[in-house]
């Protein structure tokens, strides 16, 4: 991957479109993250009020229509609309969720949470936990299940919503809002996600990664995208 610097939201959006895949945090592939290429004042809040990459997440998702979620090594990543259908096809192994469940490849707890997202999307995590009774003395495993559903590309983060005080002013960190790719991306996703065999999508992605990282071992790249 060529060297680049992110010093604005526009830089970040351009990088997502150029590379197709852009993890938020450093990972097992050196240099493949926003964290390793962003200027310090845009990684952390600065005194002069410059917005950081953490605050750009919602606007970037809205402006690009990209998928965002824990896709690689259980860490967050942006994937452009151009590449996400192939990635989802590969990770889903060609199954929509109902077919996966009917074939015994997903458990009932995953099905319950997936359907809550699907029926109520877009929905913030706080409300999702309330509907699913994910609390002390109630259902358990929310974080594990929602992470697994993201890794399988059945659920994505479609925005980050800020809570507001009694004066209508936003405060704190943005709260994740969940959706399914089908509901968030619509026909641009549903018409393409299963048009290839999963292995074809895998080979296409692997070829792309090989061009981005020509010096990386092919087995390492394949393990990473898997």
Bridge partner list, 21: 79
Q: Tell me, what's the pLDDT at 163?
A: 84
Give the pLDDT mean for 61-87.
98
Tell me the per-residue pLDDT of 77-106, one tens digit each, with 9 for 90 and over.
Answer: 999 999 999 999 999 999 999 999 999 999
Q: Is 110 contained in some domain?
A: yes
Give the pLDDT mean for 145-151.
98
| Mean pLDDT, all residues of the chain | 95
Residues in the chain: 226
For residue 2, pLDDT over 90 is answered with no
Q: Is 50 contained in some domain?
A: no
Quick check: 199 and 180 in contact, CB under 8 A?
no
The angle, 0 to 180 degrees and rounded to 10, between the axes of the packed helices 9-19 and 53-64 is 60
Which residue is it, tokens 């967050």? Answer: 76
Q: Is 132 contained in some domain?
A: yes
| Domain count along the chain | 1
For residue 70, pLDDT over 60 is answered with yes
Buried b (16+ CB within 10 A) or exposed e, 124-156: bbeebbeebebeeeeeeebeebbbbbbbbbbbb
Q: Cα dihedral sign for 208, 52, 76, 130?
A: negative
Q: Is 170 contained in some domain?
A: yes
Q: Give the list of residues 6+ apart from residue 127 with CB closer than 8 angstroms, or none.
A: 120
Q: Is 178 contained in some domain?
A: yes
Q: How confident is the model at residue 168 (pLDDT cuts 50, 70, 90)?
A: confident
Q: Tell me, what's the pLDDT at 49?
A: 53
Round to whole Å and give the CA distance between 119 and 190: 17
Two structure tokens written together for 188: 């641009």
| CA-wise closest residue to 205 among 146, 158, 153 | 153
Q: Is 190 contained in some domain?
A: yes
Q: Is 182 contained in some domain?
A: yes
Q: Is 180 contained in some domain?
A: yes
Share of the chain above pLDDT 90, in %: 89
Q: Tell me, what's the pLDDT at 200?
A: 98
Q: Please give, one letter per residue, the 3-state secondary structure of 142-173.
A: HHHHHHHHHHCCCCEEEEEEEEECCCCCEEEE
Q: Tell me, what's the pLDDT at 45?
A: 61
Domain that holds residue 124: 94-195
Give the pLDDT mean for 198-223.
97
Round to whole Å and give the CA distance between 66 and 183: 13
Give the pLDDT mean for 174-200.
97
Give the pLDDT mean for 12-22.
98
Structure letter (DSSP) for residue 95: -
Q: How confident is the model at residue 46 (pLDDT cuts 50, 70, 90)?
A: low
Q: What CATH code is carried by the domain that includes residue 173?
A: 1.10.10.10
């Amino acid at each position: 991957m060529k060297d680049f610097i992110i010093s604005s939201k526009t830089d970040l959006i351009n990088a997502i479109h150029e590379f197709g895949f852009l993890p938020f945090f450093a990972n097992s592939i050196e240099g493949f993250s926003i964290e390793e290429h962003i200027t310090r004042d845009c990684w952390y809040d600065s005194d002069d009020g410059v917005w950081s990459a953490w605050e750009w997440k919602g606007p970037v998702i809205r402006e690009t229509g990209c998928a965002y979620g824990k896709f690689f090594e259980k860490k967050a990543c942006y994937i452009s609309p151009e590449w996400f259908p192939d990635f989802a096809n590969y990770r889903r192994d060609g199954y929509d969720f109902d077919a996966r469940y009917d074939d015994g490849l997903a458990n009932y707890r995953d099905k319950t949470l997936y359907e809550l997202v699907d029926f109520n999307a877009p929905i913030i995590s706080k409300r999702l936990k309330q509907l699913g009774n994910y609390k002390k003395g109630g259902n358990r495993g929310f974080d594990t299940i929602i992470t697994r559903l993201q890794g399988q590309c059945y659920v994505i983060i479609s925005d980050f919503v800020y809570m507001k005080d009694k004066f209508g002013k936003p405060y704190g960190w943005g709260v994740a809002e969940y959706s399914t790719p089908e509901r968030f991306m619509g026909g641009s996703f549903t018409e393409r996600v299963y048009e290839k065999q999963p292995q074809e999508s895998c080979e296409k992605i692997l070829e792309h990664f090989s061009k981005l990282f020509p010096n990386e071992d092919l087995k390492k790249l394949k393990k990473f995208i898997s």
